[in-house]
Amino acid sequence: MEVCNCIEPQWPADELLMKYQYISDFFIAIAYFSIPLELIYFVKKSAVFPYRWVLVQFGAFIVLCGATHLINLWTFTTHSRTVALVMTTAKVLTAVVSCATALMLVHIIPDLLSVKTRELFLKNKAAELDREMGLIRTQEETGRHVRMLTHEIRSTLDRHTILKTTLVELGRTLALEECALWMPTRTGLELQLSYTLRHQHPVEYTVPIQLPVINQVFGTSRAVKISPNSPVARLRPVSGKYMLGEVVAVRVPLLHLSNFQINDWPELSTKRYALMVLMLPSDSARQWHVHELELVEVVADQVAVALSHAAILEESMRARNLLMEQNVALDLARREAETAIRARNDFLAVMNHEMRTPMHAIIALSSLLQETELTPEQRLMVETILKSSNLLATLMNDVLDLSRLEDGSLQLELGTFNLHTLFREVLNLIKPIAVVKKLPITLNLAPDLPEFVVGDEKRLMQIILNIVGNAVKFSKQGSISVTALVTKSDTRDADFFVVPTGSHFYLRVKVKDSGAGINPQDIPKLFTKFAQTQSLATRSSGGSGLGLAISKRFVNLMEGNIWIESDGLGKGCTAIFDVKLGISERSNESKQSGIPKVPAIPRHSSFTGLKVLVMDENGVSRMVTKGLLVHLGCEVTTVSSNEECLRVVSHEHKVVFMDVCLPGVENYQIALRIHEKFTKQRHQRPLLVALTGNTDKSTKEKCMSFGLDGVLLKPVSLDNMRDVLSDLLERRVLYEGM
Amino acid sequence: MDTLIAQLQRQFRDYTISLYHQGFLDDQFTELKKLQDECSPDFVAEVVTLFFEDCEKLISNMARALDQTGNVDFKLVGSSVHQLKGSSSSVGAKRVKGLCITLKECCDSQNYEGCVRCLQQVDIEYKTLKAKLQDLFNLEQQIVQAGGRIPQVDI
């Protein structure tokens, strides 16, 4: 018997079922084989898959399962033992692997699951980061907007532009519906709607500043959300919108210049705020984000700074304009003052001449009148006229001198003169009065006092006369002593240190009297104009009180100092002054001749081209004079009458010789008329010399009073004429040609 | 020829000195001579001529004024004599000047006879001087023509 080693299936073979099983097994096998292949393929592809060996295991498991199923294919029909064996082996292997795999999966699946969780977590994180990225980008955008806004705001210093720009830019950046700025009014009690974004012409709309909402906003530097229904937010009629957008308000500090202390940040000291109100678009359901609020706060601060800059600029512009105006005004004032001074000087010059001319005429004519035959009463009257007019002339001179002195336009006329003689002359002048008052005057001249000095003789005499005159005037008894010495240093006044330099020295004159004395308190007032100590005793003395003031000014001009010392009332006083004089080179040893004669060295030895005018009615003497002058080289023009002389005389003529032999004053008047003609150009006036036949004192005085510069005795010799012309041109004055 | 010049010059000198000593001329005339130079060679002659013309005019004026007996214009006489005095002192006519002073005094005191007398004297005097100066000038001319130089006379 053949024993069939085939294994008989358990149940009877159903053909269709079998077929289906067969096909399924076949496909399973294919699938089971391809899955690992796929797995391997894809694992090979991916580099990061960490559980490779798991896959291998899995692969093996699947392969074996597949193998099992494949081998199963052969078991549907009778099959040999080998197949059964292989089947069994496969199954066993499969069982082993699958169990191993199952065991493995227990470990692995939680891991795998956690991977998944982590993956989820990371994805969430990534999403979150994305969101934050978006936020940051938004913020950066915002920051850029702020920078741009600030730049816009700060690029202008015009207040209006700043505010307008702020609103516009904010509106744009934040896409606002409305933006408004409320400024405090001048009184500070109300806020006035000053600028809005959309409305071009805001109605003059004010709200009181003490509203709670406003106080709330002003109380903090942050942007505050306020209700859309608050008075500051109700800018336009509510036109049936459902929901008004959210409104935020922020305070804008209005800084003043004085608020900028270094350590004191404006927050502490500022008092005035403006209110900026920002409204989101209605019906947009947008909310104010934090970063937007921050933007608003930053902008508000920037606006404050920009406004303060604008304010500073305005201030400085205003100050500059003010200064310019003041400058212009000052300039104008200065020019007016100069004009006034010039006008005054012109006036003084004219008045000087205008006043002096009639004065001279009065004095001259009065003195002429004196010489005619008069009854005693007439003589008395004429003498009074003469005295009064002399007084008046002196007064006028004083006043005019003083005003010129104050001007600083007075200049010293320096010349060489004999100092000793000057003192003696002064004494001679004062002696008559002193004798009458029984006041002996003594003169002490220091032995080292130079004899010939350079200075303004006339003015020095005026000073000494004034001081000595005062001494005599204010002394009722006692004596007067005049001392003159050379001083080397002044111990009285520490500021005033006199140092004799080479050719200069300081002359000190002390006039001591034993008169009424002066109260020490009054001493400073002495040198002021028109002041006189009003004691009854001195009331009787005349004088205008200008003397000391003028003397002081002359002394100052001579670079000196003058002061008065007194021990008190009734104890007399001493007037002391120092003046600077030059030492003359002319030898001080020539004391033989009592009165030094001017050495006869003609400095102008030829007068070539010197233009002179000769006026003489007498033809012969005219010709002789002309001949003389022509011989000396002058260019001579002759005229024979006063009128012709006046017509012809011009600034080209340096000297005019006029014959005044005829009695009467017509000829003298020509001198006055010439003075008049040259009032404006005083320095161009020719020198006037009178040629006369008689030489007495009255003629000389007459000539002086009529303004002639010199007198010559006719007939003139050639040498005489030569000397005279020389001297005349040197010194511009000649009263010695007698 | 030299002798002639020397003679003429001596004559000139003597004559000039005599004129001074006799009081016809004084220092002023010397001064006038000093003014004569190359630029104005006839200065003295011109001046003197003018003086004599002046004299003539003034004297005739005064004579006419004095002729109006009973209505003598002493002021006119006074001013004329003043002029004459000035002229004569300018040229150095010493005697004429002296007479003018006397005439002036007469005029001031309105002394008719005195004036007339003085005027006559003035007239004589000036004519005499004129003649003498004419002689002097002739002498000068002769010297110059002879080729000599006019001598400087120091008084």
Beta bridge partners of A276: A181, A250
State mean pLDDT over A56-81: 77
A98 is in an annotated binding site: no
Q: Chain-wide mean pLDDT for chain A?
A: 78
CB contact under 8 A, B46 and A623: yes
Question: Does the structure show a pLDDT above 90 at A405?
Answer: no
Q: Among all residues of chain A, which has the CA nearest to that of B90?
A: A621
For residue B78, give how far its alpha carbon lies from the nearest alpha carbon of chain A (Å). 10
Could you list the beta-strand ranges (E) of A616-700. 635-639, 655-659, 687-692
Instruction: Give per-residue pLDDT as tens, A583-619.
Output: 876 554 444 444 444 444 444 456 777 888 998 888 8
Nearest CB to A628: which of B35, B50, B91? B35
Residue recorded with tokens 């035959």: A373
DSSP string for residues in A338-390: HHHHHHHHHHHHHHHHHHHHHHHHHHHHHHHHHHS---HHHHHHHHHHHHHHH
Enumerate residues 6+ apart whose C-beta is below 8 A from A43: A49, A52, A55
Question: Does the structure show a pLDDT above 80 at A546?
Answer: no
Instruction: Give per-residue pLDDT as tens, A173-224.
Output: 788 888 888 888 877 778 888 778 776 655 667 888 888 888 888 888 888 8
Instruction: Give per-residue pLDDT as tens, A442-474.
Output: 898 888 888 888 888 888 888 898 888 888 888
Instruction: Give per-residue pLDDT as tens, A243-300.
Output: 777 888 888 887 765 545 445 555 544 577 888 888 888 777 778 888 888 888 888 8
CB contact under 8 A, A661 and B32: no
Give residue A57's pLDDT band: very low, low, confident or very high (50, 70, 90).
Answer: confident
CB contact under 8 A, B89 and A628: no
Question: Does the structure show a pLDDT above 80 at A385?
Answer: yes
Instruction: Give per-residue pLDDT as tens, A20-45.
Output: 888 888 888 888 888 878 877 877 77
Residue A598's pLDDT is: 45
Name which residue leads in pLDDT, B116 or A409.
B116
Do the strands A611-615 and A655-659 form a parallel or antiparallel pair, or are they unpaired?
parallel
Instruction: Select from B29, B31, B85 the residue whose CB has the most chain A CBs within 10 Å, as the one to mutate to test that interface.
Output: B31
State mean pLDDT over A300-322: 84
State mean pLDDT over A96-120: 83
Residue A8's pLDDT is: 60
A248: three-class secondary structure by DSSP? strand
Most trustworthy range by pLDDT among A257-261, A421-425, A671-675, A695-699: A421-425
The domains of chain A, with CATH numbers, are 31-106 (no CATH), 152-235+243-258+269-317 (3.30.450.40), 411-488+503-529+545-584 (3.30.565.10), 611-737 (3.40.50.2300)
Are A368 and A702 in contact by the 8 Å Cβ rule? The answer is yes
Question: How wide is the angle at C-alpha A187 spanned by C-alphas A186 and A193, nearest 5°?
Answer: 60
Are A642 and A615 in contact by the 8 Å Cβ rule? The answer is yes
Among A429-433, B2-6, B115-119, where is mean pLDDT lowest? Answer: B2-6
Q: Chain-wide mean pLDDT for chain B?
A: 87
Q: Which residues of A touch B47 (CB under 8 A)?
A: 620, 623-624, 627
pTM (2 d.p.): 0.37
Residue A220's pLDDT is: 86
Structure tokens at B11: 């004559």
Residue A641's pLDDT is: 84
For residue A619, give how far its alpha carbon lies from the nearest alpha carbon of chain B (Å). 8
Instruction: Give per-residue pLDDT as tens, A167-181.
Output: 888 888 788 888 888
For B33-87, what is the HEC assignment? HHCCCCCCCCHHHHHHHHHHHHHHHHHHHHHHHHHCCCCCCHHHHHHHHHHHHHH
Residue recorded with tokens 């500070």: A188
Q: Which residues of B touch A617 (CB under 8 A)?
A: 83
Residue A48's pLDDT is: 64
Question: Does the structure show a pLDDT above 80 at A570?
Answer: no
* A272-310: burial string, b at 16+ Cβ within 10 Å, e else: bbbbbbbbbbbeeebebeebbbbbbbbbbbbbbbbbbbb
Residue A733's pLDDT is: 54
Question: Does the structure show a pLDDT above 50 at A494?
Answer: no
A706: three-class secondary structure by DSSP? coil
State mean pLDDT over B103-119: 87
Are A509 and A577 in contact by the 8 Å Cβ rule? The answer is yes
* Closest C-alpha among A408, A417, A405, A410 to residue A582: A417
Q: Helix crossing, B74-91 with B27-34: angle to 10°?
A: 60
Residue recorded with tokens 């104005």: B40
State mean pLDDT over A378-382: 87
CB contact under 8 A, B90 and A619: no
Residue A665's pLDDT is: 64
Percent pLDDT > 90 in chain A is: 5
Question: Does the structure show a pLDDT above 70 at A141?
Answer: yes
Long-range contacts of A446-450 (CB under 8 A, 24+ apart): A446/A483, A446/A484, A446/A485, A446/A486, A448/A485, A448/A486, A449/A419, A449/A420, A449/A484, A449/A485, A449/A486, A449/A507, A450/A419, A450/A486, A450/A505, A450/A583, A450/A584, A450/A588
Q: Which residues of B touch A715 (CB under 8 A)?
A: 28, 31, 89-90, 92
A218: three-class secondary structure by DSSP? helix
Question: Does the structure show a pLDDT above 50 at B142?
Answer: yes
A181: three-class secondary structure by DSSP? strand
Residue B4's pLDDT is: 83
Structure tokens at A586: 């002319």
Name which residue leads in pLDDT, B129 or A536.
B129
Nearest CB to A661: which of B34, B50, B86? B86
State mean pLDDT over A520-543: 55
Residue A132's pLDDT is: 94
Distances in Å between the Cα of A392 and the Cα atoms of A67, A538, A699, A704 are 162, 21, 23, 18
Residue recorded with tokens 């100050």: A319
DSSP A226: E
CB contact under 8 A, A715 and B34: no
A94: three-class secondary structure by DSSP? helix
Q: Among all residues of chain B, which has the CA nearest to that of A714?
A: B90
Structure tokens at A146: 């702020």
Q: Which residues of A touch B86 (CB under 8 A)?
A: 618, 620-621, 659, 661, 693, 714
Residue A11's pLDDT is: 56
How far is A702 from A274, CA to CA, in rounded Å?
Answer: 91
CA contacts within 13 A on the Cβ side of A630? 20
Q: Which residues of A touch B46 (CB under 8 A)?
A: 623
* Closest C-alpha among A685, A672, A696 to residue A732: A685
Residue A437's pLDDT is: 84
CB contact under 8 A, B34 and A631: yes
Chain-centroid distance, C-alpha A329: 15
Residue A322's pLDDT is: 94
Beta bridge partners of A196: A180
CB contact under 8 A, A621 and B79: no
CB contact under 8 A, A659 and B86: yes
Residue A202's pLDDT is: 58
Do the strands A247-253 and A273-279 form a parallel or antiparallel pair, or are they unpaired?
antiparallel
ipTM: 0.84
Beta bridge partners of A506: A487, A580
The domains of chain B, with CATH numbers, are 2-34+42-142 (1.20.120.160)
* A472-504: burial string, b at 16+ Cβ within 10 Å, e else: bbbbeeebbbbbbbebeebeeeeeeebeeeeeb
CB contact under 8 A, A718 and B90: no
Name which residue leads in pLDDT, A125 or A387.
A125
> φ and ψ at A454, to 5 degrees?
-110, 125
Residue A430's pLDDT is: 84
Residue A6's pLDDT is: 62
How far is A534 from A526, CA to CA, in rounded Å?
Answer: 11
Residue A737's pLDDT is: 42
* A149-167: burial string, b at 16+ Cβ within 10 Å, e else: bbebbbeebeeeebbbbbb
Determine the longest span between alpha carbons in chain B, in angstroms. Answer: 63
Most trustworthy range by pLDDT among A127-131, A225-229, A486-490, A591-595: A127-131
Q: Which residues of A touch B54 (CB under 8 A)?
A: 618-620
CB contact under 8 A, A621 and B87: yes
* Closest C-alpha among A333, A371, A416 to residue A598: A416
A470 is in an annotated binding site: yes
